């Protein structure tokens, strides 16, 4: 395991850092922990991604023929680290870049690739991923949103939920049920959907952290041309696996922190510990120690994946371990940060209006669900890493029932 950049990686990091310095005036910057509302700052976020795309820092791992840089996952991770260091917020089109775009590359037509990919990289169009439903989250293949063929179109009816950035999106990839008579994994089809099409309704969901990045989306007789299908009818699950694989890698990361960093917690502890009474101080020290050990251990385990990637390896189920460990560490960090607030922990913000740690604690539980719940990830590790037998799955062979809905 190597914690240091190779000479080539160090050179690449220096170039990225130089670009971010030279173009600083053209980029949106935020303070550590500052929330960024995509709706109110949409224009700034789109412009920032456009500048980064111009400089070759967007779509780093995408093939060159589709507008990417043909780079490595390590280079992509370096860009992410340097953006965080420069306090540039998460790209507004991160769902499109990390999940939707790779799905269009793998399963889209030449016409779809030419129409969508370059605009996606520049954030001319923002994309979302329309998978989860009120009754199908971890069991994604149980979804009920239907698409019925009508000539050269498909007519879609149903509901999606927890759709990140749907309220600012122009397009999305939509997983639907097109054949309820087949086993549930075999009756699905994926489409590109215009989020501004008649019949599409987006309603933001207020999160307990105070933000509203998630949405519920309703489809009422929405017509989608067959030319916007991704893959063949009934092959939606295979197409969706491409999306899910990319999502797991994006969230699992390689040495990147989820939530607040251990350095932020350490600085917070230096400031707040002296103000606590001896008993609370002792408990807070224990919480901070556990959180720092867990967070740094997760980071260094990520560096092992870094080394594998540097040597040309392909990420596998270990991305699930990275995401699982990262969310556990993020919970400990957020909990320790709130404990350090003392009596202020029961308030929405401290006296000076700082709510960094309260928001962190409210935000982290959702990350333990996104990209696969902790339980799903443990199943993946048990079956694909430890070789344990999987449970019988009659639902993969039996016809799917929509409960009367078609």
Question: Please, are residues 230 and 240 in contact by the beta-carbon 8 Å criterion?
Answer: no
CA distance 221 to 117: 27
Q: 258 in a domain, yes or no? A: yes
CATH number at residue 163: 2.40.110.10
Tell whether 367 and 262 lie within a shared domain.
yes
pLDDT tens sequence across 92-132: 999 999 899 999 999 999 999 999 999 999 999 999 999 99
Residue 363 confidence (pLDDT)? 77
Residues 281, 338 within the same domain = yes
Residues of the chain scoring pLDDT < 50: 1-2, 254, 314, 404-406
Residue 299 lies inside a defined structural domain of this protein: yes
In a domain, 202, yes or no: yes
Residue 24 lies in a domain: yes
Q: Is 247 a catalytic residue?
A: yes
Query: Which of 103-107's residues contact partners 24+ apart within 8 Å by CB, and which partners?
Result: 103/173, 103/190, 103/230, 103/239, 103/242, 103/243, 103/246, 104/173, 104/192, 104/230, 105/62, 105/63, 105/66, 106/239, 106/242, 107/190, 107/230, 107/231, 107/239, 107/242
Residue 21 belongs to domain spanning:
7-92
Locate 355 and state its tokens: 């709510």
Tokens of 179: 């054949």
Same domain membership, residue 285 and residue 359? yes
Structural domain includes residue 379: no
pLDDT of residue 306: 56
Which pLDDT belongs to residue 260? 82
Q: What is the pTM of this model?
A: 0.81
Q: Is residue 396 part of a domain?
A: no
Of 43, 70, 92, which residue is a domain's last?
92
Residue 78 within a domain: yes
Do 189 and 294 sit in the same domain of this protein? no
pLDDT at 289: 93
Q: Are 172 and 166 in contact (CB under 8 A)?
A: yes
Q: Any idea what the CATH number is for the domain that residue 22 is in?
A: 1.10.540.10
Residues 53 and 131 in one domain: no
Last residue of a domain, one of 45, 77, 92: 92
Domain boundary among 47, 75, 92: 92
HEC profile of 165-177:
CHHHCCEEEEEEE
Residue 112 is assigned to a structural domain of this protein: no
On whether both 171 and 228 belong to a single domain, the answer is yes
pLDDT digits (tens, 9 = 90+) for 179-232: 999 988 999 999 999 999 999 999 998 776 666 778 999 999 999 999 999 999
On whether both 257 and 367 belong to a single domain, the answer is yes
Residues 84 and 131 both lie in one domain: no
Q: Which of 247, 279, 383, 391 is catalytic?
A: 247
C-alpha to C-alpha distance for 274 and 191, rounded to whole angstroms: 57
Asked if residue 46 and residue 14 are part of one domain, the reply reads yes
Q: Is the domain of 209 the same as that of 168?
A: yes
**How many separate domains does the chain show?**
3
Residues 134 and 164 in one domain: yes
Position 26 scores a pLDDT of 97
Shared domain for 258 and 189, answered yes or no, is no
């Amino acid at each position: 395991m190597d914690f240091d950049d190779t000479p080539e990686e160090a050179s690449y990091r220096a170039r990225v850092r130089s670009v971010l310095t030279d173009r600083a005036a053209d980029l949106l910057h935020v303070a550590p922990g500052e929330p960024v509302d995509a709706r109110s700052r949409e224009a700034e976020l789109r412009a920032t991604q456009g500048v980064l795309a111009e400089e070759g820092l967007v779509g780093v791992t995408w093939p060159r023929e589709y507008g990417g840089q043909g780079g490595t996952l390590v280079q992509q991770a370096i860009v992410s680290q340097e953006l965080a260091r420069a306090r540039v917020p998460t790209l507004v089109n991160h769902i499109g870049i990390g999940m939707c775009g790779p799905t269009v590359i793998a399963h889209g037509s030449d016409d779809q690739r030419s129409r969508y990919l370059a605009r996606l990289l520049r954030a001319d169009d923002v994309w979302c991923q329309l998978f989860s439903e009120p009754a199908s989250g971890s069991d994604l293949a149980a979804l009920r949103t239907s698409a019925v063929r009508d000539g050269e179109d498909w007519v879609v009816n149903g509901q999606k939920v927890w759709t990140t950035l749907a309220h600012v999106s122009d397009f999305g990839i939509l997983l639907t049920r097109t054949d309820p008579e087949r086993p549930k994994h075999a009756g699905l089809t994926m489409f590109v959907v215009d989020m501004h099409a008649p019949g599409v309704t987006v309603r933001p969901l207020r999160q307990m952290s105070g933000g509203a990045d998630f949405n519920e989306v309703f489809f009422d007789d929405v017509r989608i041309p067959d030319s916007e299908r991704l893959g063949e009818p009934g092959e939606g699950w295979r197409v969706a696996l491409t999306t899910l694989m990319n999502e797991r890698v994006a969230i699992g990361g390689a040495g990147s922190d989820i939530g607040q960093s251990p350095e932020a917690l350490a600085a917070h502890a230096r400031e707040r510990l002296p103000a606590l009474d001896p008993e609370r101080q002792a408990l807070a020290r224990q919480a901070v120690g556990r959180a720092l050990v867990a967070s740094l251990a997760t980071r260094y385990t990520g560096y092992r994946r870094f080394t594998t990637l540097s040597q040309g390896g392909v990420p596998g189920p270990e991305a699930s371990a990275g995401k699982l460990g990262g969310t556990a560490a993020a919970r400990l960090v957020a909990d320790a940060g709130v404990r350090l607030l003392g009596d202020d922990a029961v308030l929405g913000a401290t006296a000076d209006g700082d709510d960094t740690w309260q928001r962190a604690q409210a935000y982290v539980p959702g990350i333990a669900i996104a990209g696969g719940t902790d339980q799903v990830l443990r199943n993946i590790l048990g079956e694909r890493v430890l070789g344990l037998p999987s449970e019988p799955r009659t639902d993969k062979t039996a016809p799917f029932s929509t409960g009367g809905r078609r």
